[in-house]
Each structure stands twice: as C-alpha cells, then as structure tokens.
Amino acid sequence: MNHDLSTYRYLVVAEGQFGPLTSKTATSAVRFIPDRVLAVLDSTRAGRTVQDVLGFGGDVPVVATVGEGLPLEPTALLIGIAPQGGGLPDAFRPMLREAIAAGLHIVSGLHVHLGDDPELARLAAERGVRIHDLRKPPADLPVSQGRARLVDAYSVLTVGTDCNIGKMTAGLRIRDALTAAGTRVGFAATGQTGILIEGWGIAVDAVVADFIGGAAERLVLQAAEGSDVVLVEGQGSLVHPGYSGVTLGLLHGSMPDAMILCHQPTRACPYGAGNAYHWMPLPSVEEMIRICEGAIAPLRPSKVIGISLVTFDMDEAAARDEIARIADVTGLPVTDPVRFGAEPLAEAIRRGAEAKRACRASA
C-alpha cells in the first residue's frame, strides 16, 4: 500500500510520552526524516528541544499546544506514539480537531482507523484535508505460497529477542550503509513507522492472521524489483507473549535468505504492558539464534548472520565490551548501528548476496 506522504511537514504529537522508548514513531521520525519534523507536541516537556529529550535531533522545539506549533507552518499532524492496543488517547482528540480546523492533514499509525471515526472524518471532509491511516491493510491479501524464497535479490529479515528493540532502525541503518556502497536495496516496511519513512508498505500487525504471511510475501516480491538486497523490517519477537504470532507469520511469509538479530543487553524481560511480563526472562543471544533458525528451518535454510545491539543506556566502554563478548560467543559480526555504524552488518549482507549470485550463476 502506497501513501503520498513525502511532501508533508510534521507537527508530531507525543503528549506526555515523548522519549526514546515511549514514542517510537516520533523518535524514528526525528531520526530518519529530520528535515520534515518541525516540532513535537508534549506539554510535559514544552520549552525543551528534541535534542534535550532524545539526545539527538538538534534544536527542533517541543511545544505545549497545536497553536504553538502552527507558526512553524506544518502541513500535517503526525501521531507520534503507538500505544499497546492502538487506541486513540482521549487527550489527543481535541488536538486532532484543532489541527484539522487549521487545515493540517492527519497521519496516524494507530490500530484504530481515524478515517473511520465519524466526527473526525466529517471535520476532515469539511476542511478538505486527508486522514492517512498507516495501519489500514489492503483488502486483497492472499495466503502466502512461499514465493518470496524465489526472488533473485538476497533477502534479510531483522528479528529480535524482544519487541521495540531496534529492528526497523537496524534495517534502515544497514540500508543506508549498503546504498552508500552502491548496492541497490529495497526496504520492505511492515509497521506504521517504517511506512511513514518509506512511503509504502503494509502494517502486518493489522492484518488478519491467515494473511500475515501473504502480506509479507507481497512486500518482498515488490521490494525485490530492481534490487540486489531486500531488507524486511521485523516485528515483535518469536518469544514475546503478546506479539509472537505476527513475528512467525512475517518470518514464514518473507522466507528470508538470512536474518539479523536485534538485542538490548540490559533488558531482562519482555517489553510492554506496564511491565506485565516481568515473570519471563529473555533468552540469551545464543538461544535466540537457535530459536529463529529453528523456526524457519522446515521451510528453508536461513541463518542469523549478524547481531545488532541497542546500547544507548550503557557507557561506551561497557558497550564495546559487550559487542566483543557477543562476537566472541557467536562468531558473528556485532555492532550498535546507531552508535558505532552498521558497516559490519552491511558487509555480512554483501558477502551473502555475492554468494547467492555466484550460486545462481553456476546452477
């Protein structure tokens, strides 16, 4: 599904939740489309800058109201949070009304489709603005048939020991590193934030369960056109009590040649639901590699070929020590692609792509 978003300039709403883990969409917009983020709305942090809150992003202001953001001339209001359950927070509705009245388009990644909300749809129609529901899937999705395994491009899926652990960020950082080296890369966006950044994709966690694999298959086939490498944005985790279903459907539908495993060394239990999963310890990197490779093994051979770490909450010495430790234990390239660069992972993917091309040429 394509979305005409490339020209929008955003006022991003993250009321009461602006932060690196609590406003994933807002944070990713600041990181990956910074020239289009004019301000972030969070009255609890108003007067600060994005740099103050996130540690990156420069002097983009944090404002308290829609009215404070309007002089910056945004063309759209972006909902910058993705709460569990995906509902519209009550506090956001007056902001949406005010934004629509000011002529701003609305871009939302919530599970609730704002375009189907009678009040908001009526107001948008009256004002002549559009509501983009990024999580609204196409209606014609098939059941997957394993066709993704046949593409000529080398396909790589980011997987994780948990949800909200940098799978999209790792994929985009790797994409940038590969592109800079001249590799033609297709990025298959599978979540609302990836769709926002890329302008196309399907939010697979909003797809009826039987068709998650079909959605993933369609994305890989489309991304593979004219590409040497396809990077598939991962979702959830095979061991997450709440989100494993979408993860397995995505894995089996995308049929990747290889996987990049994402992990946060300091995280002890699955993320989300107000620490409701405190009872479950996360598996080690080594155990998670076995789980991911075992889950795809009946369909095709696919190996984890690199590890992406999230180390923003560790000092540099501790982060480098952990990278070295995991590299020693697994024998794989390891990096934090935000902090130290994605080149080791990009190089592993280039080698895999070259090996696939050579194998096909000799067949």
Contact 116, 58 (CB under 8 A): no
85 pLDDT more than 80: no
Compute the distance between CA of residue 24 and CA of residue 100 in angstroms, rounded to an integer: 23
Q: Residues of 165-201 as b/e, b for ≥16 C-beta within 10 angstroms?
A: bbbbbbbbbbbbbbeeeebebbbbbbbbbbbbbbebb
Q: What is the pLDDT of residues 119-176, one digit of tens each?
A: 999 999 999 999 999 999 999 999 999 999 999 999 999 999 999 999 999 999 999 9
Q: What is the pTM of this model?
A: 0.93
250 pLDDT more than 80: yes
List strands edge to edge, sheet with 185-188.
Answer: 185-188, 229-232, 154-160, 258-263, 303-309, 334-335
pLDDT of residue 1: 66
pLDDT of residue 86: 67
| Domains identified in the chain and CATH numbers | 10-133 (3.40.50.720), 147-362 (3.40.50.300)
Contact 6, 35 (CB under 8 A): no
Contact 60, 48 (CB under 8 A): no
Average pLDDT, the chain: 95
Phi-psi region of 191 (alpha: psi -120 to 50; beta: other; left: phi over 0): beta
- Tokens 């809150």 correspond to 53
Compute the distance between CA of residue 94 and CA of residue 43 in angstroms, rounded to an integer: 14
Strands 185-188 vs 229-232: parallel, antiparallel or unpaired: parallel
pLDDT of residue 82: 78
**3-class SS of residue 42:** coil
Q: What is the pLDDT of residues 309-348, one digit of tens each?
A: 999 999 999 999 999 999 999 999 999 999 999 999 999 9
The CB density around residue 295, as the number of other CB atoms within 10 Å, is 17
Q: How many Å is the Cα radius of gyration of the chain? A: 20
**3-class SS of residue 337:** coil
DSSP secondary structure letters along 95-139: HHHHHHHTT-EEEE--SS-GGG-HHHHHHHHHHT--EEETT---S
When mean pLDDT is compared across 53-67, 76-90, 232-246, the lowest value belongs to 76-90
pLDDT of residue 273: 79
Contact 168, 196 (CB under 8 A): no
- Tokens 């388009």 correspond to 105
Q: What is the pLDDT of residues 28-68, one digit of tens each?
A: 999 999 999 999 999 999 999 999 999 999 999 999 999 99
